[in-house]
Structure 1
Amino acid sequence: MAAPKPCETMKDTQSNPDTFYDDLPLFAEFSGLQQDAFTPLPDDWLLGCCDIVDSTALIDRGQFKTVNMIGAAAIAALRNTLPDRAFPFVFGGDGAGFALPPDCADLAARELARLQAWVAQEFAIDLRATLAPVADVRASGQDVRVARFGASRDVDYAMFDGGGLNWLESQMKGNDRTLSTQSDGTPPDLTGLSCRWDSVKARNDMILSVLVKPEPTAPFAAVAEVTQAILQLANGLDRGGHPLPKEGPGFRFPPKGLMLEARLGRGKTAAILRKVTLTLGTALVAVLFWRGRKLGNFDPVSYRAEIAANADFRKYDDGLKLTLDCPQETHDQIEGLLADARAAGLVRYGLFAQDEAMVTCIVPSAMRADHMHFVDGASGGYARAAQMLRAQGK
């Protein structure tokens, strides 16, 4: 998909806020997401985020898949609650950020409360969430700007800039703006959320999780030079450092995450019955993948390749986030660039190296090519890198 210039397709988003996200131009080159690629959200929209309380303790206990699945569950729940509305969202590893039109406030708050109650019931995990008008974010001195990156011809992802999501997350963690967790007892609709693929071993020395956050007073142009230098290093790697092989991740039967998927998405069905249903369905899919043959409109070879094409291994979430398959030399070069940028007062950063990457998926239909795949390191990834970043702010 060709990347249009903003002036070619941009419409008056303030006069038609309901179609704000639909009307944004698509950028096909990640390095093209410079400052002028981002458009301010309308003042009356809502900004939201959620994350797992003390996710690092869960990661220490080896619950990487659980953390990622719950982090992606908010996106699945909101998409299923608002199936006909396009809205921006970004996966953060142990949580998510999103923005919604103003008339979706009540539905979103209800569904997030259901999800929080469900996660507490099924896993004894605290998921906090918040929503705030964009006007409040701007009143704090921050901004919320959004761009659309076409990862493939079938899937695009939202990119956030302006500091608003970082500010809202800090408010939430300070318990200043957390949503009520009181639920009506209805399970959230998590249709399409899955984690059936194997973790992917690094082809080079490591899977590197990279977080870069600009300092509030740093000039945008100077920070952009840093991020562009990192992207240039990534672009010098095979397929830009993509952690998934071109043909897609591996598959085994039964998948390791099947019971986790069953518990999260079981609704009012017993978890064991949901697992049986998923096992039977997955067995058929496993045969198709192993044989590499089509069944009706489903082509397993194309589907696996689409996973890699549709993956979100690079993003802007009020800063640069990357999951890269890279050699030690590239790790050292990135670390050197970031250390110098931090010494110059431009950024804070986090790096975490591990042996594997993993994917968490939202698949509206296996018969369509618009399935989405959130990539993270398989041993803590972004959450571990965030620990390093937070330590630099002390």
Structure 2
Amino acid sequence: MLSESKQALLATQYFAKQEFNLDLRVGIVPVSVVNQSNYQVKVAKLKISETYSQGIFTGGGLTYATQLIKDPTTGEIYNLQIQNMSEAANFSGLRCPWQDILSPHEEVVSLLVMSTVSDWQEEKEVYKIVLEEIYEIFGAIENVHPVIPENIKLCFPNESIYKMAKIKEPNSSNLKKMLRFIRLKLKTFYSAFLGLIKVNTLAEEAHKLELVENTDYKKFDDMLRMIISGDRQQRERLVKFLEKQYQKGKLVYGTHVSDRLLMTCLVPVNSGGRHVHFVDGADGGYALAAKDMKARINKM
């Protein structure tokens, strides 16, 4: 399993560089190394819907492993280096057919919150208070959720569809990519036509209500990550609350604001109906929220 994981990571890194000129940092840290530094990797399973269960990670182990990979003094030990690429990356089931999705309200907020207290019980209380405040400010779950069926539209621009073609045919010839592009373009128009005449087929697109239900707009991996829909006044009220908690030494946080979000879908082959839809704020999203959080960490 470790060998296959290394190959998958390196193949993805190679593909990102060759096709999109993106430099990805990939690495593997043994859990034993994490445990020796008094961190843990605790895993729980949260059922989101009948077809989607989400992994929850606590204990600080993932955060510590990420630091080891990014730190120049330890990165050489844990970073993976491309050698002989014998296999192409496999992105079977990965689909990106949607346009940028507009916020149902005024804004989309990419939010990161990480507790800074050492006691486990107090840490749970910090996250509980944060979530309660979010729902107090933004309202019920259906108001917080950044995706609504009415705003989900198929993607038509050639540039976006050609990117999908490259993902579907990694390391293939330009001819194969172009043929894939044509097939995807025709498939998109066909799906749009079915939508216009009110014909829905799950073989082509997941039902939009189920798609919304299986969206990972809220998750936890050593910190709370959320994509929230709201207006400027609500966001300012949330930031004011988080800043008070930050000044008390309870947590650090980062935010980024946009008017829309991005969605990528994973529909595994022979999935039996399972699918998950990953969302992030547009124009930087979680990445810029993390930068905002790091600036606060550096001030502590």
TM-score band, normalised by shorter chain:
0.7 to 0.9
Q: Is the 8 A contact 2:109 2:255 kept in 1?
A: yes
Question: What root-mean-square deviation, in Å, do the aligned CA atoms of Structure 1 and Structure 2 show?
Answer: 2.2
**CA distance, structure 2, for counterparts of residue 282 and residue 251 of structure 1:** 7
Match of 1:312 among 213, 216, 219: 216
Output aligned runs, 1:1-394, within 5 Å. 104-174=1-71, 175=75, 176-215=77-116, 217-236=117-136, 237-238=139-140, 239-246=142-149, 249-254=152-157, 257-267=160-170, 268-270=172-174, 271-295=177-201, 298=203, 303-364=207-268, 369-394=273-298
- 3-state DSSP class of the match of 2:45? strand
Give 1:299 shift. 7.7
Q: Deviations over 1:64-84 (max 9, x none)?
A: xxxxxxxxxxxxxxxxxxxxx
Look up the equivalent residue of 2:180 and give its one-letter code.
R
Q: Which consecutive residues of structure 1, in runs of 5 or more, have no partner in the other structure? A: 1-103
Look up the equivalent residue of 1:224 and give its one-letter code.
K
Q: Is the 8 A contact 2:155 2:161 kept in 1?
A: no
- 3-state DSSP class of the match of 2:88? coil
**CA distance, structure 1, for counterparts of residue 51 and residue 196 of structure 2:** 25
**CA distance, structure 1, for counterparts of residue 79 and residue 182 of structure 2:** 37
- 3-state DSSP class of the match of 1:146? strand
Q: Deviations over 1:22-48 (max 9, x none)?
A: xxxxxxxxxxxxxxxxxxxxxxxxxxx
Give 1:273 shift. 2.2
Give 1:393 shift. 1.8
**CA distance, structure 1, for counterparts of residue 180 and residue 64 of structure 2:** 39
Percentage of identical aligned residues: 27
Look up the equivalent residue of 1:287 and give its one-letter code.
F
Q: Which consecutive residues of structure 2, in runs of 5 or more, have no partner in the other structure? A: none
Q: Is the 8 A contact 2:155 2:188 kept in 1?
A: no
Q: Is the 8 A contact 1:151 1:310 kept in 2?
A: yes
- 3-state DSSP class of the match of 1:286? helix
Look up the equivalent residue of 2:181 and give its one-letter code.
K
**CA distance, structure 2, for counterparts of residue 357 and residue 233 of structure 1:** 23
Report how many aligned residue pairs link the two structures: 288
Q: Is the 8 A contact 1:209 1:323 kept in 2?
A: yes
Tell me the TM-score normalized by structure 1. Answer: 0.68
**Residues 269 and 314 of structure 1, relative CA distance in 2, 3 Å threshold:** same
Q: Is the 8 A contact 1:150 1:157 kept in 2?
A: yes
- 3-state DSSP class of the match of 1:345? coil
Look up the equivalent residue of 2:212 and give its one-letter code.
A
Q: Is the 8 A contact 1:199 1:356 kept in 2?
A: yes
Look up the equivalent residue of 2:53 and give its one-letter code.
D
- 3-state DSSP class of the match of 2:255? strand
Give 1:185 shift. 4.1
**CA distance, structure 2, for counterparts of residue 230 and residue 285 of structure 1:** 41
**Residues 380 and 247 of structure 1, relative CA distance in 2, 3 Å threshold:** same
**CA distance, structure 2, for counterparts of residue 225 and residue 168 of structure 1:** 25
1:26 is matched with: none
Q: Is the 8 A contact 1:248 1:304 kept in 2?
A: no
Give 1:184 shift. 2.0
**CA distance, structure 2, for counterparts of residue 255 and residue 218 of structure 1:** 50
**CA distance, structure 1, for counterparts of residue 91 and residue 134 of structure 2:** 34
Q: Is the 8 A contact 1:354 1:377 kept in 2?
A: yes
Q: Deviations over 1:141-176 (max 9, x none)?
A: 211111112221211111111111111111111224
**CA distance, structure 2, for counterparts of residue 367 and residue 163 of structure 1:** 32
Give 1:391 shift. 0.8
Q: Deviations over 1:62-117 (max 9, x none)?
A: xxxxxxxxxxxxxxxxxxxxxxxxxxxxxxxxxxxxxxxxxx10111112111111
**CA distance, structure 2, for counterparts of residue 257 and residue 220 of structure 1:** 45
**CA distance, structure 1, for counterparts of residue 186 and residue 280 of structure 2:** 28
- 3-state DSSP class of the match of 1:322? strand
Look up the equivalent residue of 2:128 and give its one-letter code.
Q
